[in-house]
Amino acid sequence: MEFGRKRNKMRCHRFGVAWVLVGIGMLAHSASPAAEVNLYSSRQPFLVEPLLEAFRDATGIEVNMAYIKKGMLERLRAEGVNSPADAILTTDIGVLENHAQAGLLDPVDSRVLTNNIPAQYRHPDGLWFGLTMRARVIFAHRERVVPGEVTTYEDLAAPHMKGRICTRSGKHAYNISLLASVVAAEGEAAAEAWARGLKDNLARRPQGNDRAQVKAVKEGECDVALGNTYYLGKMATNEKNPEQKEWAAAVRIVFPNQDGRGTHVNISGAAVVKGADHRDDAIRLIEYLAGDDAQAIYARRNFEYPVKAGVPLLEMVESWGAFKSDAAFLTKIAEHRTVASKIMDRVAFDH
Ligand code: FE
């Protein structure tokens, strides 16, 4: 924890230094701004740094990254037109949409981005672009759940699942997006009935993160859990906390709704900040991240799926099997987040 904070400070400091250097450079030349991009990232440095280095090697453009774990929107809003940020990198459709709706992003019209990223995973006006994809799946205990017993999200609300399900808070962005996808597909009344049924089937009050649910399955507290796919990879290969390997080994992935609308997916993505000084270089960075080389590195490093078609998957991710994803546009799903959040309150999901 302490280490994390120190690193964080160091990054901000480095960012500050880089910014000062730009100032000097501009004084000396006073021509076009230096070839560089100031990036605010809520994605962890281990994930992003190799990509930024590869981008610099390929283009000569330096990226100054500030790692901002929480509060990026508030910071951009507070900095206003004085913000040094040219681009942001973050996870979750809801977070990206919040930045768009707060008027913090500028639209980008790029043939590379529209070619490489399927339309459902980017903003229709180019305000943000999905770069990696994760599915919100069911982790089922290998023995206690018979294959075919749970094949849909709707099954989680069925009587035979009573007392067998674990999940994190219903108000967490991942579960809000999932419920919003149910609203988009089935309407508000059906979504509320589903949320109520799911809540009634929980083995315990919502608590912990996605990994904690898999632990609870391993320990017999519940038989199935909701979770994002990449956590299974991160647990299965966790040398720092090897007990997580046992949690992962206890479950198999069920991709829900394969005979229907498909499994709910979410994204991590990028956007250009409104009024960015290094707009063109920021666009080049996002185009690079949507290219074949970066797509493979980026997705592999976090056990995610590339958004670009034809990019090879990590072996483990491939071993989970191909699946059909919900084809709904993520902007459409995001529109239902407020309703989803109210449903969670109405069914008192966390209580
Ligand atoms: Fe996550």
Report the separation in Å between the CA atom of 45 and the middle of ligand 1, taken as the mean of its atom positions: 15
Tokens 């000062």, residue located:
20
Report the separation in Å between the CA atom of 232 and the middle of ligand 1, taken as the mean of its atom positions: 11
212: Cβ contacts below 8 Å, ≥ 6 apart? 168
Tokens 């459709």, residue located:
93
Report the separation in Å between the CA atom of 47 and the middle of ligand 1, taken as the mean of its atom positions: 13
* Residue 75, CA atoms < 13 Å, CB-side half-sphere: 17
Report the separation in Å between the CA atom of 102 and the middle of ligand 1, taken as the mean of its atom positions: 23
Report the separation in Å between the CA atom of 129 and the middle of ligand 1, taken as the mean of its atom positions: 18
Report the separation in Å between the CA atom of 209 and the middle of ligand 1, taken as the mean of its atom positions: 9
Report the separation in Å between the CA atom of 310 and the middle of ligand 1, taken as the mean of its atom positions: 24
Report the separation in Å between the CA atom of 298 and the middle of ligand 1, taken as the mean of its atom positions: 15
- Residue of 320, 329, 298 whose CA lies nearest to 311: 298
Q: What gap in Å lies between CA 67 and CA 16, rounded to an integer?
A: 12
Report the separation in Å between the CA atom of 322 and the middle of ligand 1, taken as the mean of its atom positions: 21
Report the separation in Å between the CA atom of 338 and the middle of ligand 1, taken as the mean of its atom positions: 21
Q: What gap in Å lies between CA 275 and CA 289, rounded to an integer?
A: 21
Report the separation in Å between the CA atom of 20 and the middle of ligand 1, taken as the mean of its atom positions: 34
Question: How high is the pLDDT of residue 34?
Answer: 72
Question: How high is the pLDDT of residue 295?
Answer: 96
What is the value of pTM for the model shown? 0.88
Question: How high is the pLDDT of residue 322?
Answer: 96
* Residue 125, CA atoms < 13 Å, CB-side half-sphere: 8
Strands 105-106 and 87-91: unpaired
Mean pLDDT by 10 residues, the chain (351 residues): 34 41 39 81 94 96 95 96 96 94 98 98 97 98 97 98 98 96 98 98 98 98 98 98 98 98 97 97 98 94 96 96 96 96 98 94
- Asked if 128 contacts 268 with a C-beta cutoff of 8 angstroms, the reply is no
Report the separation in Å between the CA atom of 286 and the middle of ligand 1, taken as the mean of its atom positions: 21
Report the separation in Å between the CA atom of 235 and the middle of ligand 1, taken as the mean of its atom positions: 12
Report the separation in Å between the CA atom of 228 and the middle of ligand 1, taken as the mean of its atom positions: 7
- Residue of 43, 110, 40 whose CA lies nearest to 74: 40
Q: What is the pLDDT of residues 29-48, one digit of tens each?
A: 334 557 999 999 999 999 99
48: Cβ contacts below 8 Å, ≥ 6 apart? 39, 41, 65, 89
Strands 224-228 and 129-141: antiparallel
Tokens 């000097």, residue located:
24
Q: What gap in Å lies between CA 70 and CA 206, rounded to an integer?
A: 22
Question: How high is the pLDDT of residue 26?
Answer: 40
Token digits of residue 86: 């040219």
Question: How high is the pLDDT of residue 25?
Answer: 38
- Asked if 164 contacts 201 with a C-beta cutoff of 8 angstroms, the reply is yes
Report the separation in Å between the CA atom of 41 and the middle of ligand 1, taken as the mean of its atom positions: 14
Question: How high is the pLDDT of residue 18?
Answer: 41
Strands 36-41 and 62-67: parallel
Report the separation in Å between the CA atom of 148 and the middle of ligand 1, taken as the mean of its atom positions: 27
Report the separation in Å between the CA atom of 226 and the middle of ligand 1, taken as the mean of its atom positions: 12
Report the separation in Å between the CA atom of 144 and the middle of ligand 1, taken as the mean of its atom positions: 26
Question: How high is the pLDDT of residue 29?
Answer: 39
Domains identified in the chain and CATH numbers: 13-132+266-312 (3.40.190.10), 134-263+323-346 (3.40.190.10)
94: Cβ contacts below 8 Å, ≥ 6 apart? 173, 176, 177, 334, 337
Token digits of residue 19: 């910014």
